[in-house]
Amino acid sequence: MDIEYNNESALLSGQAVTFKLDPGEIAHVLHPGQIIAFRGSGGHRSDKLMNIQGMYRKRKLIRADIQGPCQFVASLPPSITMNTIRFTDGSDLLYDFKHLFFYTEGVEMETRILSMKNMMITRDAIKMKFSGRGFIGILTQGQVLEMPLDPEEPIYVEAGSVIAYPENAKLELSVYGNHLASQHMRYQWKMTGHGHVLIQAGSGNRELERDLQSGDGVVKRFLREVIPFGGVFIK
């Protein structure tokens, strides 16, 4: 499989991704409505109903199974980008199924039911573990970064920015810094373990954009910062 990203300015104008499949290769596309062009035999695309689990996790009914040789183009809206991850034996990352755009034949999915503690932290009961050999496409909001975990020294990651984390990782819902910092901080995952965590750089709040565009006076901005929950009550 060959994948070409046709637009580097995806955050502004959307991203077009071209897939080229060789004979015998199969890609399972979970958002077939995003396919805007196809070159090849019409019989090489077969849409199917997802299983119950897939319908629930993706809130979609149909997936498209596309077989090579062929070429197709998928279009993604502004602010959403796709990142391709290649799997070999030994991966232990857990993903949220909602981020999955496609996977190739040879990639296997296993359901992992989280501990009660992690359910409370992640607000999700199930994660997906991928194994085998092949590719998956992950939908993200902005650039994806890979950061190493340490078994002793924690890393704090904004909860909404986490794309995937190792199955062995220890998670705690936390904040950090002094009282003022923690008071105005989104919840963080305090993470330790082995391996790497994948985070997306574009999922944070829009505070910076609002600050740049806002005409608020200094007094209102000061009160919004120093009063607990000032950003909620002072508009």
37-71 pLDDT, tens digit per residue, is 999 999 999 998 876 555 555 556 788 999 999 99
Which contiguous run of DSSP H or E holds residue 80? Answer: none
**What is the structure's pLDDT at 206?**
55
Residue 36's pLDDT band, with cuts at 50, 70 and 90, is very high
In sequence order, what are the beta bridge partners of 111? Answer: 128
**pLDDT tens per residue across span 89-112:** 677 788 888 889 999 998 888 887
DSSP secondary structure letters along 179-234 = HHHHHT---EEEEESSSEEEEETT-S-SHHHHHHH----HHHHHHHHHSTTHHHH-
Region 20-48: mean pLDDT is 94
If phi over 0 gives left and psi between -120 and 50 gives alpha, with beta otherwise, what is residue 233? alpha
Upper half-sphere CA count for residue 51 (Cβ side, 13 Å): 1
Verdict on whether the full-model pTM lies above 0.85: no
Q: What is the pLDDT of residue 8?
A: 55
Query: Does 217 have pLDDT greater than 80?
Result: no
d(CA 221, CA 55): 44
- Looking at residue 149, its pLDDT comes to 94
Mean pLDDT of the chain: 80
Taking CA 175 as the corner, what is the angle to CA 225 and CA 161, rounded to the nearest 5 degrees? Answer: 90
Q: Which residues contact 9 (CB under 8 A, 6 or more apart)?
A: none
What Rg, from alpha-carbon coordinates, does the chain have? 21
